[in-house]
Amino acid sequence: MGQDEIVKAVDITNASKHFELKLEKLGPYKLNYFRNGRYLLLGGRRGHVAAFDWVTKDLLCEFNVRESIHAVQWLHMPSMFAVGQKEWVHIYDRDGVELNVIKTMYRITHLDFLEYHFLLASASDKGYVSWKDISIGKDIASFPTKNKTTDLTHNPQNGLLFCSHPNGTMSMWSPNNNRPVVSMLCHGASVSSVTVTRCGNYFATSCVDNKVKIWDLRNYKCLLEHKTTYVPSKVRFSQLGLLAVTGGSTVTVYKNAFRPDKGLTPYVRHHVDHLIDDAGFCGYEDILGVGHQGGFTSLLVPGSGEPNFDSLEANPFMTKAQKREMEVKMLMDKVSYKMICLDPNELAKTNREQSTSSKK
C-alpha cells in the first residue's frame, strides 16, 4: 500500500498529516517526537534545529548552532530539549535559548531519555554510555562498552539501555553496573539498529547482511527471522506493534511481527528521493516520521498508534496550567535510577520479604 492510496482513502484532516519538508542543504535529519505525540524536534547534520507543533504547524523555535548535530531528544516536557552537537550536549528551551552545556557527554552519537527516572542517556563515538539526572544536574554513571554503539534505545518496562554494536552483539546496560547486564550475539555481522516494544516483551534487531530478527525478551530466543531486499539501517516499533524498517531510500512497515507462523508481512512501503538517516513513529497518531538527506517526510501508517491516550500519562491537548501541574507531578513521582534492573519484579519481591521478616 502506497501513500497516494492511503491519502485518497482518509478524510481531509488525516490527509493533511502527510507532508514533506524540503531542507536539502542542511540534512541529513535526526528526529524525535515528544511522548504525547504533539511536538516534533528536528536536527540537521549541518546545524539546523527546529521544534514545532507538527499538527498545527506552529513553530516553537528555529535556529542554527553552526556546528554538526548528531542527535536530538525531547526531555520531560515539551519546553526543553537536548541536542548532541560536535563536542558536547546542549540543553535548550522552547524559545531556542541555551540553558546548559553538558561537558561530561563528549562527542555523543545517540541520545535517549528515561522520562520516569529523569535520566538523559547517551552513547559516544569513544564507546561510552552515560546517564545524567536532569532534575538535579547530577552525573549518575559512565561506562565503556568496548564497542562502538550503532543505535541506542531503552526498555520502557525496566529502564535498561539497549545498545547495538558492529561486532554482531546487543548489550543491555544499567547505571548500577559497570558491565552489561545482558550481552547477546544476535547476528553474524554488524547490528545496525535495535528497537523495543512498548510492553517490553520483544525487541527487534537489523543487520547489514539484510536480516531483521524479532526476539522474545522473556526467554531470549529468536521469534522469527526475515530477509529484506535492501540493507536495513533503522528498525522502529510502533505503539501497536507494527515494525518499520528503513534502508537506502526505502521505508517498509511490516505487520505480524509476533506471528512466527505468518512471518513479517509488508503493509506500507514508501520511497523517498534521498538516503534515509532516521525514522520514528509518533505516539497516539498513525504517523511515521522519516528524516533524510533532503529534509523530513511524514507518512500515514493506519493502525500504528494507540487510539486511546491516558490524559494523566500523556495528554496531547495540555493547557499551560496542566503543563505546570504535570511537571510537578512527574517530579514527585520520579523513580530512582537505583531501581533500574533486569527483573522489575525483583524490587517487589524484596519489599515482600522485608515486610514478612518485620512481622516476625
Q: State the pLDDT at residue 349.
A: 67
pLDDT digits (tens, 9 = 90+) for 304-356: 999 998 888 888 888 888 888 998 999 999 999 999 988 877 766 655 555 55
For residue 238, the domain's CATH number is: 2.130.10.10
CA distances 172 to 31, 116, 129, 307, Å, are 23, 18, 11, 30
Q: Is the pLDDT of residue 13 over 60?
A: yes
Q: State the pLDDT at residue 318.
A: 87
CA distances 50 to 23, 32, 44, 72, 303, Å, are 11, 11, 9, 10, 28
CA dihedral (147, 153, 159, 164) positive or negative: negative
Q: State the pLDDT at residue 311.
A: 85
Q: State the pLDDT at residue 102.
A: 96
Q: State the pLDDT at residue 350.
A: 55
Residue 313 lies in a domain: no
Share of the chain above pLDDT 90, in %: 84
Model-wide pTM > 0.85: yes
Q: Please give the tally of structural domains in the chain.
A: 1
Residue 347 lies in a domain: no
Residue 331 lies in a domain: no
Domain holding 153, by residue range, is: 3-300
Q: Is the pLDDT of residue 360 over 70?
A: no
Residue 86 lies in a domain: yes
CA distance 152 to 282: 18
Residue 162 burial (C-beta neighbours within 10 Å; 0-12, 13-18, 19+): buried
pLDDT digits (tens, 9 = 90+) for 54-74: 999 999 999 999 999 999 999
CA distances 219 to 201, 202, 223, Å, are 10, 10, 10
For the chain, the average pLDDT equals 93
pLDDT digits (tens, 9 = 90+) for 150-180: 999 999 999 999 999 999 999 999 999 999 9
Residue 354 lies in a domain: no
Residue 239 lies in a domain: yes
Cell matching residue 14: 488525516
Residue 295 lies in a domain: yes
Q: Which string of b and e fits 4-20 if b means at least 16 CB within 10 Å?
A: eebeeeeeeebeebbee
pLDDT digits (tens, 9 = 90+) for 193-208: 999 999 999 999 999 9
Q: Is the pLDDT of residue 90 over 60?
A: yes
Q: State the pLDDT at residue 356.
A: 58
Residue 345 lies in a domain: no
